[in-house]
């Protein structure tokens, strides 16, 4: 059985379409009744509801045991009008499908948070006898921007959410707000999966225990919990991004120092090209040039030339040989080229040391 949840383009109201699979017996319609989502007992038992907390935040709650195999699908809209954070607290892992990939979500506080925008379609498969428990937070772009501290951004995509969070949470000196001209389309570049920490799990279970129909003050507590969940999610994503950046920097530095050692050991006897060095480090020539200057403080060519000059000076002072022989041994195309480079580096010509 397929349950398709879609948002009406004009009224913005949610609709549910119940569609049996080919050859499957029709077990009844799933319908909205006020804020409740009513499931026929032949499909599922438990409770499910949808609440509009204000113009910017809506909340769907679910705590069901399915009597039949079901596919719960959120239909994509043409434009990004809201963002959703699906937090699955189901006791067992369920199959989640989005953007052509399948992931396991829920179960044992593992992978259980799924973030996307309204233009990204996703669905969850639940088997007969399985429990489906969790919440879906629907947030407007304006709410998300205000929560992050920037109301002027025209659009947010995945990278912007992470970068904005890093600036907002860590308040790094010198950081500037994200350019409002870089992303003009209201799209999310992709979806994000994350794990449920114990704190997020407790906040979700607390939301599921609230009586949203009768207690206005609990609705305020719900909104507070939503902000806490959002903050925890963004903090985790930004921390993960920072860890990846630190690992990438460490990995890059390791490769650069390997190239430095290669130059130190063989500059006098080998004529290395930038292409050769980049292949040796398994990085692009552009990245090699950028990272070498960033980490070593000199360009690859400058360092390579300096290494040759230091080797030339050592040879000339230790065991003088004809300058012509030394020039060709160090890989210079001519004696004059070698002499010019040596004088520029040391201020004297190589012949003055012989």
Q: Summarize pLDDT for 133-171 with one digit per residue, the tens.
A: 999 998 887 787 777 664 333 343 444 444 443 343 333
Residue 218, Cβ density class (10 Å: 0-12 exposed, 13-18 middle, ≥19 buried): middle
Q: What percent of the chain has pLDDT over 90?
A: 12
Tally of structural domains, the chain:
2
Q: What is the mean pLDDT of the chain?
A: 76
Given a cut of 60, is residue 257 above it in pLDDT?
yes
What does the pLDDT average to over 253-282?
81
Three-class SS of residue 61? strand
CATH code, 281: 1.10.10.60
For 81, which DSSP code? -
User: What is the pLDDT, as a whole number, of residue 159?
Assistant: 44
Which range in 42-56, 100-114, 236-250, 317-331 is most confidently predicted, on average pLDDT? 42-56
- Could you tell me if 239 and 311 lie in one domain? no
Q: Is residue 258 part of a domain?
A: no
Given a cut of 50, is residue 10 above it in pLDDT?
yes
Domain that holds residue 39: 2-244
- Could you tell me if 71 and 158 lie in one domain? yes
Distance, in Å, from the CA atom of 316 to the CA atom of 353, rounded to the nearest integer, reads 6
User: What is the pLDDT, as a whole number, of residue 178?
Assistant: 30
Q: Long-range contacts of range 160-164, CB-CB < 8 Å, 24 or more positions apart?
A: 161/234, 161/237, 162/234, 162/237, 162/238, 162/241
pLDDT tier at 66, thresholds 50, 70, 90: very high
Q: Is residue 108 part of a domain?
A: yes
Given a cut of 50, is residue 312 above it in pLDDT?
yes
Q: Is residue 256 part of a domain?
A: no
Q: Is residue 7 part of a domain?
A: yes
Q: Is residue 289 part of a domain?
A: yes
Q: Is residue 252 part of a domain?
A: no
- Could you tell me if 194 and 59 lie in one domain? yes
What does the pLDDT average to over 126-135?
92
Q: Is residue 253 part of a domain?
A: no
Q: Is residue 135 part of a domain?
A: yes
């Amino acid at each position: 059985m397929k349950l398709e949840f879609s948002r009406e383009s004009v009224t913005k109201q949610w609709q549910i379409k119940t569609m049996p699979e080919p050859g499957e017996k029709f077990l009844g319609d799933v319908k909205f009744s006020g804020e409740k989502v009513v499931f026929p007992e032949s499909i599922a038992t438990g409770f499910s509801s949808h609440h509009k907390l204000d113009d910017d935040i809506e909340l769907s709650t679910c705590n069901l045991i399915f009597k039949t195999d079901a596919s719960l699908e959120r239909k994509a809209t043409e434009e990004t009008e809201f963002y959703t954070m699906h937090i699955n607290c189901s006791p067992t892992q369920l199959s989640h499908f989005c953007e052509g990939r399948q992931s396991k979500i829920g179960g044992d506080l593992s992978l259980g948070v799924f973030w996307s925008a309204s233009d990204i379609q996703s669905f969850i498969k639940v088997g007969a006898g399985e429990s489906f428990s969790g919440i879906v937070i629907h947030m407007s772009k304006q709410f998300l921007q205000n929560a992050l501290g920037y109301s002027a951004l025209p659009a947010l995509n995945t990278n912007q959410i992470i970068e904005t969070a890093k600036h907002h949470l860590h308040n790094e000196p010198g950081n500037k707000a994200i350019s409002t001209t870089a992303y003009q389309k209201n799209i999310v570049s992709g979806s994000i999966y994350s794990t449920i920490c114990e704190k997020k799990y407790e906040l979700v279970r607390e939301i599921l225990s609230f009586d949203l129909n009768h207690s206005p003050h609990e609705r305020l507590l719900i909104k507070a919990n939503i902000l806490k969940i959002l903050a925890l999610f963004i903090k985790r994503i930004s921390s993960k991004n920072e860890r990846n950046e630190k690992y990438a920097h460490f990995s890059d530095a390791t490769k650069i120092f390997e190239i430095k050692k290669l130059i130190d050991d063989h500059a006098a006897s080998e004529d290395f090209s930038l292409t050769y060095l980049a292949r040796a480090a398994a990085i692009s020539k552009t990245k090699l040039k950028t990272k070498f200057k960033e980490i070593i403080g000199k360009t690859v060519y400058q360092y390579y030339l300096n290494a040759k000059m230091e080797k030339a000076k050592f040879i000339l002072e230790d065991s003088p040989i004809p300058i012509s022989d030394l020039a060709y041994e160090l890989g210079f195309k001519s004696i004059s080229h070698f002499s010019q480079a040596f004088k520029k580096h040391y201020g004297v010509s190589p012949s003055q040391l012989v």
